[in-house]
Amino acid sequence: MECFNVKEIGIGCDGLMKPTAYDTAWLARIPAEHDHNVSAFPEALNWVRQNQRCDGSWGAEAEFAHDRVISTLVAILALVERGEGDRDQRAVEAGLGYIWEIADQLESEHETIGFEVILPALLETCQVMDLALPTYVFKRYEKMRDEKMARIPPAMLCSKDTTMAFSLEFLGDSLDGMQIESLQEGNGSVGVSPSATAYFLTKLPNNGAARRYIAEVARSYAGQAPQVFPFDVFETAWSLWNLALAGFSPRDPILTSKVDGLACLWNQSEGRGVGFSSEYSITDVDDTAMAYDVLNWAGYEPDYQALRRFERDQYFVCYPWEREGDWSLSANIHVLHALRDVDHAIATKIVEFLKLQVCPEGYWADKWHISPYYTTAHAVIALVGLDDEIAGDAVQWILRTQRSDGCWGYHGRPTVEETAYCLQALSVYSRCVESLDPKVLRRGREGLLAYRGETPSLWVGKCLYAPVRVVRSAIHSALVMTDVGRGA
């Protein structure tokens, strides 16, 4: 078990994610600067060739249909556009076959970010290339795309001040007629997204700022690409939140510098809150809630009016222009935890909202993470002392689903990440509400220490991804909280 090192987090760092097949395949599609017929990143193209799964797909370890479909489509396009014909034909055919087999599973899942607008654009490109796909299955996404587009003022479609820039590849061949001057961030990226910036370069291959950004991504990830770059605020806020939960002191010299950096960004935001990256123009309720929570823990007095920008009648939205009912439970849970001792009315509203959304078995699922253990564990932590009854029902679900090896895992196998979340929640509940059987926590801790498998990508972006240091911080937090020798 690799130990978490608090020196590895911080404002000013890029953040660390596992590379994704989706973003790496987009990297492979970028034309070389002096020869637009070949890939600017042959190492990314070779990675695509070497990392097709046995079933013909590309994507994360867990078979999440939206991730696999969108990753496989872009990988196919990379091989068709930049590949070597017969050499890559078998891989292309296997990828197409996989999509025919899995397309029907999409309706049983929540979409990945931007799926409803990106997929139609990718399908149009595939049709131009005469790639046979089950387009009839995907018809509903055209309606969803139209619904989302109707919420956004036309003048904002090509602006870094909306979330649409993050998924810019949805424009397909339409970028040519757009005003693109206001799309790029200060670091040259589009939406701090390697895939959106790579798409931008397929249309405007001579844009020097975008090429410099992508070159830095490729350099940092050995020719591959992560879901976002950089994501310093997200990594710092979540990691500090996990450490705070485990009783770490904000006066620790290492942590103090990280909190100070977060506070500086908060103050610079002029009441808008923060986003996942200091390079990104858009703020969101989730990162703002976690940053607010951490700053409170550290003794700052942030103004929570930044959170109220996202408040609606029954819940909080993550971003403006979300589709109706497209809220995030985990984001609302983080607002609850941040404001539970600050605004009683808001806390009561969110608790009532969570009661309406809980599954019959006693857990919550969310759109930002494919494991309900993440959402449910954070809900237990936020609800303790506010509604111990509903928190207790969730704890019982966690207890019922512990595996014989002591770990937890929702998608057919245990993971250290999900096990860490469960141990955090059980520790808080056992300490604050009623003592649980110590054997449960001990078995979980032993399972966590003994685990030797990989850390799969469980977080939901445009595809599935893994924020490596955030996961490590949760694991370290759980180990500290269940260490009997420390009095936990």
Q: Which residue has the higher pLDDT, 154 or 130?
A: 130
What's the mean per-residue pLDDT of the chain?
A: 93
**Whether residue 115 is found in the same domain as residue 239:** no
Query: What are the tens digits of pLDDT across the range 21-66?
Result: 999 999 999 999 989 889 999 999 999 999 999 999 999 999 999 9
Query: Of 220, 246, 274, which marks where a domain is finished?
Result: 220
Asked if the structure places residue 9 within a domain, the reply is no
Query: Of 195, 220, 245, which marks where a domain is finished?
Result: 220
**Whether residue 163 is found in the same domain as residue 263:** no
**Whether residue 367 is found in the same domain as residue 439:** yes
Asked if the structure places residue 13 within a domain, the reply is no
**Whether residue 255 is found in the same domain as residue 381:** yes
Mean pLDDT of 142-158: 78
Asked if the structure places residue 11 within a domain, the reply is no
Query: What are the tens digits of pLDDT across the range 275-309?
Result: 999 999 999 999 999 999 999 999 999 999 999 99
Asked if the structure places residue 14 within a domain, the reply is no
H or E segment and range at residue 266: helix 253-268
What is the b/e burial string over 172-194, where b = at least 16 CB atoms within 10 angstroms of the residue's CB?
Answer: beebeeeebeebbbebbbbbbbb
What pLDDT sits at residue 320? 74
Query: What are the tens digits of pLDDT across the range 456-486?
Result: 999 999 999 999 999 999 999 999 999 986 5
What pLDDT sits at residue 343? 97
Whole-Å CA distances, 477 to 6, 187, 427, 482: 11, 33, 11, 9
> What is the DSSP-derived secondary structure letter of residue 302?
-
Query: What are the tens digits of pLDDT across the range 406-464?
Result: 999 999 899 999 999 999 999 999 999 999 999 999 999 999 999 988 889 999 999 99
**Whether residue 319 is found in the same domain as residue 427:** yes
The domain that contains 373 carries what CATH number? 1.50.10.20
Number of structural domains, the chain?
2
What pLDDT sits at residue 488? 41
The domain that contains 159 carries what CATH number? 1.50.10.160
- Reported confidence tier of residue 487, pLDDT bands at 50, 70, 90: very low
**Whether residue 213 is found in the same domain as residue 297:** no
Q: Which residue has the higher pLDDT, 14 or 369?
A: 369
Whether residue 272 is predicted with pLDDT greater than 70 in this model: the reply is: yes
Give which of 75, 32, 33, 13 is closest to 220, Cα–Cα. Answer: 13
H or E segment and range at residue 64: none
> What is the DSSP-derived secondary structure letter of residue 391?
H
Whether residue 192 is predicted with pLDDT greater than 90 in this model: the reply is: yes
Asked if the structure places residue 413 within a domain, the reply is yes
Whole-Å CA distances, 245 to 93, 192, 241, 488: 49, 29, 6, 11
**Whether residue 193 is found in the same domain as residue 250:** no
Whether residue 155 is predicted with pLDDT greater than 80 in this model: the reply is: no
- Helices 65-82 and 86-102 cross at an angle (nearest 10°) of 160
What pLDDT sits at residue 89? 96
**Whether residue 202 is found in the same domain as residue 259:** no
Mean pLDDT of 145-162: 78
Query: Of 156, 186, 220, which marks where a domain is finished?
Result: 220
What pLDDT sits at residue 391? 98
Do residues 429 and 391 make contact, with C-beta atoms less than 8 angstroms apart?
Answer: yes
**Whether residue 211 is found in the same domain as residue 257:** no
Mean pLDDT of 126-131: 95
Domain containing residue 111: 21-220
- Reported confidence tier of residue 3, pLDDT bands at 50, 70, 90: low
Asked if the structure places residue 225 within a domain, the reply is no
Asked if the structure places residue 227 within a domain, the reply is no
**Whether residue 175 is found in the same domain as residue 324:** no
Mean pLDDT of 88-108: 96
What pLDDT sits at residue 212? 98
**Whether residue 157 is found in the same domain as residue 240:** no
Q: Are strands 464-465 and 459-460 parallel, antiparallel or unpaired?
A: antiparallel
- The one-letter amino acid code at 400 reads R
Judged by DSSP in three states, 39 sits in strand
Is the link from the previous residue into 230 a cis peptide, with omega within 30 of 0?
yes
Asked if the structure places residue 180 within a domain, the reply is yes
Give which of 12, 30, 25 is closest to 265, Cα–Cα. Answer: 12
Mean pLDDT of 252-265: 93
Among residues of the chain, what percentage have pLDDT more than 70? 96
What pLDDT sits at residue 178? 64
Whether residue 366 is predicted with pLDDT greater than 60 in this model: the reply is: yes
Do residues 83 and 45 make contact, with C-beta atoms less than 8 angstroms apart?
Answer: yes
Q: 193: which residues sit within 8 A by CB, 6+ positions away?
A: 23, 165, 166, 167, 168, 227, 228, 462
**Whether residue 266 is found in the same domain as residue 187:** no
- Reported confidence tier of residue 146, pLDDT bands at 50, 70, 90: confident
Mean pLDDT of 12-21: 92
Lowest mean pLDDT among 169-178, 235-244, 310-319, 460-469: 169-178
